[in-house]
Structure 1
Amino acid sequence: MYTFLVTVLLMGIVKKNSLRDYWSTDPMFATPFFATLFSQNRFLILLRCLHFVNNATAILSDPLYKIRIVLISLTSAFGRVFVPYKDLCIDESLMLWKGRLAFRQYIPSKRHRFGVKFFVMCDVKTGYVLDIIVYTGSTTDIKHYEGLGVSGSVVMTMLAPHLGKGHTLYVDNWYSSPTLFQHLLSNS
């Protein structure tokens, strides 16, 4: 499983047009390292059979129930293995998704207008992702703060472990509000 995850992470770094291109033998496009990890067929079989939850005990009211356990493991590991520098940034990101999904978003200003919306907190100096929240509409996993709305609640939820540690936060105008700034100032 470790080798499979390494392969998937490398695919995020080495961009190709399709999965099959990673095992191409064409000298112009070849990336032979992937073939040393897995054969193409073995990787595709593992990818097709990848499953993280027992359907019999699944919580169907959670739209992310199939990946919730992996998401929790990843986000907790993000915070454990890296101590962020002074400057932090929170912004949204849209991952292209053309399929059917109850919480698919339409954002006309993004390059890919339809997709899954993420709130991401990163360290400004390194770009390291410290926290991710997948936006699922009213069931989004955030703590709601009185008077802050969704954007302020997202900021406070993501920033909670870092409050009082002297960080500087950078956000765009969607997150900015006098109420949020007062709330952050009162929490140092």
Structure 2
Amino acid sequence: MSDEICDIIFRESNRKARQFFYDNNAKHPTREPRSWISITESEFDAYLGILLLSGVTHSGYVHTKDLWNTKSHPLYRAAMSVRRFWEISRFIRFDNGNTRQQRKQTDKAAAISDVFLMLNSCLRRYYVAEANVTVVEQLYAYRGGTGFTQYIPSKPAKYGIKVWWVCDSISSYPLQGQIYTGIAPSGERERNVDERIVKDLCINLFDESGRNIVCDNFFTSYNLAKSLMIDNNLSIAIEAMIGRPIRVVDDGAHGAEYGTPKSKGELLHLLQTTPYSSCTLCNKPVCAEHSKDLPQCDRCN
């Protein structure tokens, strides 16, 4: 974690806690005033260590009181008291809460987006990807009210924050991520999400590098595969597209199948040679090879 990220966390967490205790003391003047002890760098490292240890020992769903029990791992008690852990967890912040509402008008993930962008920068700085990279989705378990919490019944957590990642296929090292909030980074609702995600994650990092991008069938659109191959010298989802019908999408409204390649060679030949034109009625892409006899798509014909 970079110093810039830590500085933001220290500053905003301490700001939030001090403001809370100031307001609480003013609200209850007859009580003994309480003050906040600022989070230090070493204390924050210990806090992160506790979180990592709970993950390694699969204790994420164990009550914190039980973690600090004398029969539990001694590192919890050695790092800090359970009350201090509760306090840090309560007040930890990743942005300036005073300006969050204004930023949320254009960014649903305003509470974490600045730190997440810095994290992406750190990830790219310290690793060079191999020849093959993978685009995947990850669901971070979370049931809070974010406005973009996803429900994916096929995932173990089912509820959480979905993040798209491009990772090195060998080491699984994450190279860049994007939080899915339901709208494009421009703030507008979008179509062809698969194409936009792959290009956002991969083109700036791997443009003209000749790398292979492997992903599941969610991303196997004809337009995306051909665009990356011709414009960016990248190949996409070779294994995922073999044995599946390849579709062509114009603006998300329609799709057309060009066939089912049985091998990598057939797929590359299909991507490199299959032209297409538009249906004369609905403007849906139609294979140009057959458009002389069938100037209309299957739906309009």
TM-score bracket, shorter-length normalisation? 0.7 to 0.9
Structure 1 residues 91, 142: closer, same or farther in 2, change over 3 A?
farther
Matches for 1:15-164 after TM superposition, within 5 Å: 15-16=58-59, 17-18=61-62, 20=64, 21-26=66-71, 30-58=72-100, 59-61=103-105, 62-138=107-183, 140-141=184-185, 149-160=192-203, 161-164=205-208
Shift of 1:13: 3.3
The CA deviation string for residues 133-175 of structure 1, in whole angstroms up to 9 with x for no partner, is 111011x43799x9x8111110010002122223221100001
Structure 1 residues 84, 142: closer, same or farther in 2, change over 3 A?
farther
Shift of 1:5: 3.3
Aligned length: 182
Structure 1 residues 79, 91: closer, same or farther in 2, change over 3 A?
same
Unaligned runs of 5+ in 2: 1-40, 234-301
Structure 2 distance, partners of 1:159, 1:82, is 15
Q: Which amino acid aligns with 2:75?
A: F
Q: Secondary structure at the match of 1:95?
A: strand
Residues 92 and 119, structure 1, Cα contact 8 Å, conserved in 2: yes
Q: Secondary structure at the match of 1:153?
A: helix
Q: Secondary structure at the match of 2:217?
A: coil
The CA deviation string for residues 36-63 of structure 1, in whole angstroms up to 9 with x for no partner, is 3322222221111112222222313121
Identity, % of aligned positions: 28
The CA RMSD measured in Å over matched residues stands at 2.4
Structure 2 distance, partners of 1:11, 1:85, is 31
Q: Which amino acid aligns with 1:181?
A: A
- Structure whose alpha-carbon radius of gyration is higher: 2
Q: Which amino acid aligns with 1:83?
A: V
Shift of 1:65: 1.1
Unaligned runs of 5+ in 1: none
Question: Counterpart in 2 of 1:167?
Answer: 211
Structure 1 residues 38, 96: closer, same or farther in 2, change over 3 A?
same
The CA deviation string for residues 113-151 of structure 1, in whole angstroms up to 9 with x for no partner, is 33221111111111111111111011x43799x9x8111
Q: Which amino acid aligns with 2:220?
A: S
Q: Which amino acid aligns with 1:158?
A: L
Question: Counterpart in 1 of 2:225?
Answer: 181
Q: Secondary structure at the match of 2:160?
A: strand
> In terms of mean alpha carbon deviation, does 170-179 or 91-100 score higher?
91-100
Structure 1 residues 76, 143: closer, same or farther in 2, change over 3 A?
farther
**Which protein, 1 or 2, shows the higher relative CO under an 8 Å CA cutoff with sep ≥ 6?**
1
